[in-house]
């Protein structure tokens, strides 16, 4: 199980080895599930994501299903990436969605380039192994 701790390292893996930009969905799936970037990339590709383009929420859920995970919506009133961890449990893996972006939260820590920023978060889901 991969434990990515530095978001920029995993973003750079996508750019360097897969020639893949706009890959926040791949990064989020890899971090929350603990799979390698390549496995997350292939799962999203099977779900219909095109290299260099974003993924829909449905494609992300389909890729998670392919990897053996499911999601459960978290019903809270979220504000921003900076404060989202205040509303979530300190353990577990979560995906948080903001307009045109998805980010991962693992064990109370945002693992994404948006960490500490004020990007609006409109929903979050817990990622659970089936």
Question: Which tens digits make up the pLDDT trace of 94-118?
Answer: 999 998 999 999 999 999 999 999 9
To the nearest 10 degrees (0 to 180), the angle between helices 37-46 and 57-66 is 120
- Global pTM? 0.91
Predicted confidence (pLDDT) per residue in 27-62, tens digit: 999 999 999 999 999 999 999 999 989 899 999 999
CA distance 41 to 108: 25
Mean pLDDT of the chain: 91
Domains of the chain: 7-129 (3.90.70)
Question: E-strand spans in the chain?
Answer: 69-74, 93-98, 101-106, 109-111, 123-129
């Amino acid at each position: 199980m991969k434990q990515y701790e530095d978001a920029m390292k995993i973003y750079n893996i996508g750019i360097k080895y897969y020639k893949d930009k706009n890959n926040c969905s791949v990064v989020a799936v890899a971090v929350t599930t603990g799979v390698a970037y390549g496995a997350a990339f292939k799962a999203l590709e099977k779900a219909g994501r095109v290299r260099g383009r974003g993924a829909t929420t449905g494609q992300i859920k389909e890729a998670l299903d392919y990897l053996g995970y499911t999601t459960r919506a978290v019903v809270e009133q979220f504000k921003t990436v900076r404060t989202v961890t205040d509303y979530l449990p300190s353990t577990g893996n979560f995906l948080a969605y903001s307009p045109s972006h998805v980010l991962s939260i693992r064990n109370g820590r945002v693992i994404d380039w948006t960490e500490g920023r004020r990007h609006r978060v409109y929903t979050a889901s817990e990622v659970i192994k089936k």
